[in-house]
Amino acid sequence: MGFLLKVVLGTTAGLLIEKFIRKKQMFDFSKQLKKFHDEHVRLSEEQQAEMRERRNTNQARLRTGLNAAEDPAPLEFIKQGSYAMKTMIQAPDNKYDIDDGVVFDEDDLIGPNGGVYSALDTRKMVLEALQDARFKTDPELKENCVRVHYNEGYHVDVPAYKKVKTQDVYGKDVTILEHAGASWQESAPQAVTTWFNQANKDLSPAEDPGQFRRVVRLLKMYTKRTNTSNNKSPSGFVISVLAKECYKPDAERLDRAVYNTIVAIHERLKYSTVVKHPILEKNLAEDNDNKVIYLKNQIETHIDSLAGLFDNDISNQDAAKIWGNLFKHEFFNDITAQKVFITPSTVNTGILNDSFFSNDEGKLSAQPREVKKEQVRFG
């Protein structure tokens, strides 16, 4: 193709167009990024089993504590958040956050003198029931839940809900959940999980089922690694909603799906930082939300470096540095030089054929070279 361009357009113009076309080919780092996801982002089977065990133990503790105090028994428990959506990511020092809601019948939340339990009353009831002398740190009363701290480093958040019988706008009898936050507010944790699972099913390519969920996990890892100060980045829920809006599936490559989704999120946030709840009529983030603005600015910083993935003379080490600067993880430190540095996507354009190799400087050469086991390191 390069020869044809030079014949038709002349040597200089042909070279310029050829260079432009070649630069549009993104270096293929998909296999390495998938390995990073599987080994360092997604929870292992052992970690998932441990999460389930802690959740079940906590439920049993709550039931026992409520029964001992002769308080209302739970109707059910609702796994929610990243635990339910299967987007939990690995965390240093076991700092995992498991969300496991408890549901009561509104008719049971009546005090001995006939008074109705407030949202605060309900959270305090749950707090007392979860006390355990074996904890080094007592359960903590939060505005939206009761937090149980485990000695291993992670915690379980237990939001409380009540089932309420009411009527919809058409006068039809319905049952809804209300959450015990600062006050009782309508909530829909199960519907959110259903929304996410359906999005994962509908949006992921048929050739790569579950890609959407993997992209969300990687985005969460990215925001976690770039959050140099606690609580600067938006919640995982906000990240999931933005990912749903902006996801760019790629049937062949995970790395392109991640890159294109990041770019799309940045474009989306340029015109508005408002993020709507996918189920309820409310916003998760308002206009000029500081955390969403922080995310936008972080992406803007990294988009410039990600552009290096489109350089025509990029090596595997170069790509590892770029992705490593994005995720700031030691996995990318150990990426060694590959035998051939020309990517399949570049070869498939017809611009290059398999007689070309990269030399020690990362430039194209007609002669193969000996591969050196160089490693990438980050300061």
Q: Where are the domains of the chain?
A: 45-187
Distance separating alpha carbons of residues 352 and 2, to the nearest angstrom: 8
Exposure on the CB side of residue 80, measured as CA atoms within 13 A:
22
Check if the beta carbon of residue 352 is closer than 8 Å to that of residue 19.
Answer: no
Least Cα distance to 148 among 123, 131, 125, 162 occurs for 131
How would DSSP label each residue in 177-211? EEEESSSEEEE-HHHHHHHHHHHHHHHS-TTSTTH
Q: Give 228's pLDDT tier (boundaries 50, 70, 90).
A: low
> pLDDT, tens digit, for every residue of 9-29?
455 554 454 444 444 699 999
Q: What percent of the chain has pLDDT over 70?
A: 80
Query: Is 156's pLDDT higher than 80?
Result: yes
Check if the beta carbon of residue 240 is closer than 8 Å to that of residue 295.
Answer: no
Burial of 292 (0-12, 13-18, 19+ CB in 10 A): buried
Distance separating alpha carbons of residues 54 and 64, to the nearest angstrom: 15
Distance separating alpha carbons of residues 92 and 30, to the nearest angstrom: 24
Q: Mean of the pLDDT values across residues 223-239?
A: 81
> pLDDT, tens digit, for every residue of 179-196?
999 999 999 999 999 999
Which residue blocks in 307-353 are alpha helix, DSSP H?
316-327, 344-348
β partners of residue 92: none
> pLDDT, tens digit, for every residue of 259-276?
999 999 999 999 999 999
Check if the beta carbon of residue 33 is closer than 8 Å to that of residue 306.
Answer: no
**pLDDT value at residue 282:** 95
**pLDDT value at residue 275:** 98
Q: How many C-beta atoms lie closer than 10 Å to residue 122's C-beta?
A: 23
Q: How many C-beta atoms lie closer than 10 Å to residue 351's C-beta?
A: 18
Quick one: CATH architecture of 45-187? Answer: 2-Layer Sandwich (3.30)
Exposure on the CB side of residue 6, measured as CA atoms within 13 A:
8
Handedness of CA 54, 60, 65, 66 (dihedral sign): positive
> pLDDT, tens digit, for every residue of 165-176?
998 888 899 999
pTM of the model: 0.81
Query: Is 339's pLDDT higher than 50?
Result: no
Burial of 372 (0-12, 13-18, 19+ CB in 10 A): exposed
